[in-house]
């Protein structure tokens, strides 16, 4: 009975971590959506890391458990020293991998966006830029357009759309799956008379809560995506107007001007040499 309760406790703890990630997913989506609607912020701050913080916490706990396990094996059971060393080395590899991933994410330059291009054009306001620079800005806008076409284009926030988003992002199904495992495990223990009957009731309530919060969080994420697309459309409209203004005042090339300047410099050199 003690081992069964230990297994149920582990599954319940994992479900609580996954459920907290669901709550963070919903809360950060609503927070960023409100900030976009009020014009307080122009980019997402919290929602992209909603699942990273609980996952990082789970990774730290797993690394701590692995380190403790390897230490116990090494000092308590000398015969298990090779296994302890293998666990310790695996823990170091996982820790280095996590640090490397975090470092890559931090130092990675921000992706090109309508807002970034618009800000660059605003900074060059009042200056006459060359036509080649205008064409470069247009090429960047076209590249952003092409990258945006592969993203979700629907603004629907229905339950069906939320379920489709959950299927496309499997990490949203972690909490419901763990809750389902908890239901099956607790039902098995109750059938074997190893656990009280209320354990099944609690597991079923956890499953219902995970499914409901999962759908609500997915709908909030879809609503946030719609707000982000609306904001990008505004940036793109402003950007195209700025590009048009820059093109009207740009320094256009004069046909044959370079050849004439080169010829004039050549004649001037010949005259200087003749003197």
Task: Tell me the pLDDT tens digit for each residue of 123-169.
Answer: 776 666 777 777 887 888 877 777 666 554 556 778 888 888 888 88
Residue 185 lies in a domain: yes
- Give the residue-averaged pLDDT of 73-93: 74
pLDDT of residue 254: 47
- The angle that helices 198-248 and 114-123 make with each other, rounded to 10 degrees, is 40
- Mean pLDDT taken over the chain: 75
Q: Is residue 32 part of a domain?
A: no
Confidence band for 208, pLDDT divided at 50, 70 and 90: very high
At residue 203, does pLDDT exceed 80?
yes
Give the count of domains, the chain: 1
Residue 13 inside a domain? The answer is no
pLDDT, mean of residues 5-26: 82
Task: Note whether residue 85 is domain-resident.
Answer: no
Q: Is the pLDDT of residue 241 over 60?
A: yes
- Residue 186, pLDDT above cutoff 80: yes
The pLDDT, as a whole number, for residue 205 is 93
Separation CA 133–CA 164 (nearest Å): 42
Q: How confident is the model at residue 224 (pLDDT cuts 50, 70, 90)?
A: confident
Token pair of 183 as six digits: 């239901």
Does residue 256 come out as left (phi exceeding 0), alpha (psi in the -120 to 50 range) or beta? left
Q: Is the pTM of this model over 0.85?
A: no
| Residue 63: per-residue pLDDT | 75
Q: In the prediction, which pLDDT does 1 show?
A: 47
Q: What is the pLDDT, as a whole number, of residue 2?
A: 44
Question: Are the CB atoms for 112 and 140 separated by under 8 Å?
Answer: yes
Least confident of 14-23, 149-158, 185-194, 210-219: 149-158
Residue 235 lies in a domain: yes
Domain ranges, residue 203: 111-258
Q: At what angle do helices 159-168 and 198-248 cross, to 10 degrees?
A: 90
pLDDT digits (tens, 9 = 90+) for 85-133: 777 787 778 777 777 766 666 566 556 677 777 777 777 766 667 777 7
Query: What value does the mean pLDDT take over residues 211-228?
Result: 88
* Residue in the structure block whose two tokens are 């706990």: 61
User: What is the structure's pLDDT at 131?
Assistant: 74
Residues paired with residue 251 on neighbouring β-strands, in sequence order: 130
């Amino acid at each position: 009975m003690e081992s069964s309760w230990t297994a149920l406790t582990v599954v319940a703890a994992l479900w609580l971590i996954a459920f907290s990630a669901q709550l963070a997913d919903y809360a950060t989506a609503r927070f960023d959506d409100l900030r976009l609607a009020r014009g307080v912020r122009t980019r997402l701050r919290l929602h992209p890391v909603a699942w990273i913080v609980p996952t990082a916490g789970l990774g730290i706990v797993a690394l701590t458990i692995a380190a403790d396990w390897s230490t116990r094996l090494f000092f308590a059971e000398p015969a298990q020293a090779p296994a302890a060393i293998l666990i310790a080395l695996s823990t170091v590899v996982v820790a280095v991998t996590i640090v490397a991933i975090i470092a890559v994410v931090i130092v990675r330059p921000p992706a090109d966006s309508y807002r970034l291009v618009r800000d660059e054009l605003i900074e060059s306001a009042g200056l006459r830029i060359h036509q080649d620079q205008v064409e470069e800005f247009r090429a960047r806008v076209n590249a952003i357009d092409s990258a945006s076409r592969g993203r979700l284009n629907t603004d629907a926030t229905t339950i069906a759309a939320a379920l489709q988003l959950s299927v496309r992002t499997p990490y949203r199904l972690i909490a419901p799956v763990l809750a389902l495992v908890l239901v099956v495990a607790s039902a098995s223990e109750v059938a074997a008379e190893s656990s009280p009957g209320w354990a099944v009731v609690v597991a079923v309530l956890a499953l219902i809560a995970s499914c409901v919060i999962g759908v609500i969080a997915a709908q909030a994420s879809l609503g946030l995506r719609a707000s982000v697309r609306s904001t990008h459309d505004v940036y793109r409209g402003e950007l195209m107007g700025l590009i048009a203004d820059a093109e009207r005042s740009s320094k256009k090339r004069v046909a044959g001007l370079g050849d004439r300047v080169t010829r004039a410099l050549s004649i001037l050199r010949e005259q200087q040499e003749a003197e």
